[in-house]
Amino acid sequence: MKSGYSSRRRSRYIVSLTLVLAFFLLSLAGCPLPSGDSALRLWDAGPITLDPAIAADFSSYTYVVHIFSGLVRLDHELRTVPDIAESWEKSPDGRTYTFYLRQGVRFHSGREVKAADFKYSWERACHPDTGSGTAATYLGDIIGAGDMLAGKTGEISGVEVIDDYTLRVTIDAPRAYFLSKLAYPTAFVVDRANAESRTDWWREPDGTGPFKLKEWQAGEWLILERNETYYGDQAKVKHVVYYLAGPPMPMYELGYIDVVPVYGGYIHRVRDETSPFYAELAVTSELSLYYVGFNTAEPPFDDVNVRRAFSHAVDRERIAKLILIDMVNEARGVLPPGMPGYDEGLEGLDYDVEKAKELIAASRYGEASNLPPITLTVSGYGNHIPGYLGAIIEEWQQNLGVEVSVRQLEPEDFVYNLKQEKDEMFVLGWIADYPDPHNFLDILFLTGSENNAFEYSNPDLDALLYEAAIEQDDTVRLTMYRQAEQMVVDEAPCLPLWHGANYILVRPYVTGYELGLLGIPSLSQVKVDGS
């Protein structure tokens, strides 16, 4: 029988938690906590931006999808369903979409949304001065978007305003995933007057989503308020309060927040059936990939044998089990389970030390001592290196005789500085935006893609991905993507580590808080009882 918590031990623990939180609670003394109405209290690191055209990090995305909205959205089953567009038609050749907008949809400020607002929003996202890192990926299929991104034209010719409530969009080729892309924030509508009011307009955003920003004290708290004029179903809670500082698990234990992510240091406690938190644990799979990326444009990882050697030298199964405590699933390839095209028969670069040594010998370096200095870039604070990463670096040293240095960048700068400050290796993750293998294979590995941080280029892969993107037969298309994934794994521009899962604790009085496969809750569906 597993031991539980004695009342005396529990009391001492609560006292220590109270001391830990004392300073934090003093810092939140000015937080205008809503009273009377229901409020959902959460913890988060906070957004980097609330500009839909700029938001590229997961945290910013979480806020933007609740403040803004677009023509379509993805439901809980990841199906593309109407949002501001109540319906649409697709031409027989699959290249032209005609969207019919709901009438009476209003920005938070009260102005009605018209088709011209979408044309403005998309052209703003594609304007070089905006500096969007996502526009080419999510709007680039539209005729004229590429020219505008390149500064060759002042409008997107493939977006036509037919009347106030009708928008016609023409893309370069029939693409099965195009509608799903429009559910990403880059395609959301923004209010022109708001977006052109000042540089940091997004600190007072005028959106169309189910919540509006009530107050934001950077580094302390952020409060969302229900949009009472929302065109869809009204949110069940009046306010969502995000605490942007403090230790999340102690805050949850003492009742200051209603939901908390569970990290490795606490997983044994919450998995213990005798723990008071066991019944509150919720685990959901995630369409994600976490990986070590190789800079294939620079030595030594411009040599495929070196990339493959580093991949074979890591025992991912051992690390996932012993260090990450089975909170993740080992990745043998790129596509996660649950993603269309997932291939259980994929031939991965499994742990094989002898093979790794043979590949180093077959490389142009001949032996590990001839490799140039190697630095790995990681996101984080205070020179803290995650345990799993330390284990990987140790295995490279033990199995290959290679010393790897680590350079840490703060999370706020990591993604944006990666292209300018990229070292030989880097650690990244990718969570799906839409349920299609294109969202992983094209976006991450196509030559010249915004998110191809590997600087990887393979003309044969590009040709196959282009064919798969426009193939209309789903069976044939998914077969092409499986072939493409095997090519990527064989060429090893990255070392796939694992596919993630979300572990959270949710108080019993909170219902409807569910993290789907994309890792984002629908806050408007959450209900807080007994507030």
Render pLDDT for 315-338 as a digit per residue (tens, 0 to 9). Answer: 999 999 999 999 999 999 999 999
Rounded to the nearest 10 degrees, how much is the dihedral formed by the CA atoms of 146, 151, 154, 157? -20
Band of residue 412 on the pLDDT scale cut at 50, 70, 90: confident
Band of residue 414 on the pLDDT scale cut at 50, 70, 90: confident
Tell me the CATH number for domain 7-46+219-265+504-528: 3.40.190.10
Tell me the CATH number for domain 288-499: 3.10.105.10
Question: Which pLDDT score is estimated for 411?
Answer: 77
Over the stretch 208-243, which tens digit does the pLDDT of each residue have?
A: 999 999 999 999 999 999 999 999 999 999 999 999
Band of residue 381 on the pLDDT scale cut at 50, 70, 90: confident
Vertex 341 angle, CA 336 and 343, to 5°: 70
Radius of gyration for the chain, computed over Cα atoms and rounded to the nearest angstrom: 24
Long-range pairs, 466-475, Cβ under 8 A, ≥24: 468/437, 468/438, 469/173, 469/175, 469/177, 469/438, 469/442, 470/173, 470/174, 470/175, 471/176, 472/94, 472/174, 472/176, 474/176
DSSP state of 319: H
Over the stretch 432-491, which tens digit does the pLDDT of each residue have?
A: 999 999 999 999 999 999 899 999 999 999 999 999 999 999 999 999 999 999 999 999
Beta strands 239-243 and 494-499, pairing class: unpaired
Band of residue 370 on the pLDDT scale cut at 50, 70, 90: very high
DSSP string, 150-186: TTS-SS-TTEEEEETTEEEEEBSS--TTHHHHTTSGG
For 286-418, list the strands marked E by DSSP.
288-294, 329-330, 374-379, 404-409
Cβ pair 290, 331 in contact under 8 A: yes
Cβ pair 310, 400 in contact under 8 A: yes
Q: How far apart are CA 254 and CA 186, in angstroms?
A: 38
Look up residue 81 and give its amino acid: V
Question: Which pLDDT score is estimated for 421?
Answer: 79
Instruction: In the chain, list all ranges with CATH 3.90.76.10.
Output: 67-199
pLDDT at 10 over 80: no
User: Which neighbouring-strand residues pair with 329?
Assistant: 499
Q: How far apart are CA 113 and CA 227, in angstroms?
A: 15
The closest alpha carbon to 434, from 118, 128, 175, belongs to 175
Instruction: In the chain, list all ranges with CATH 3.40.190.10.
Output: 7-46+219-265+504-528
Integer angstrom CA distances of residue 148 from 126, 151, 152, 264, 450: 6, 5, 6, 46, 16
Into which CATH architecture does domain 67-199 fall?
A: Alpha-Beta Complex (3.90)
Beta strands 288-294 and 85-90, pairing class: unpaired
The encoded tokens of residue 456 equal 């990887």
Over the stretch 16-30, which tens digit does the pLDDT of each residue have?
A: 444 445 555 555 556
Q: Give the percent of the chain with pLDDT over 90.
A: 86
Look up residue 420 and give its amino acid: Q
Q: What is the pTM of this model?
A: 0.89
Instruction: In the chain, list all ranges with CATH 3.10.105.10.
Output: 288-499
Distance of CA 69 to the CA centre of its chain: 17
Mean pLDDT of the chain: 92
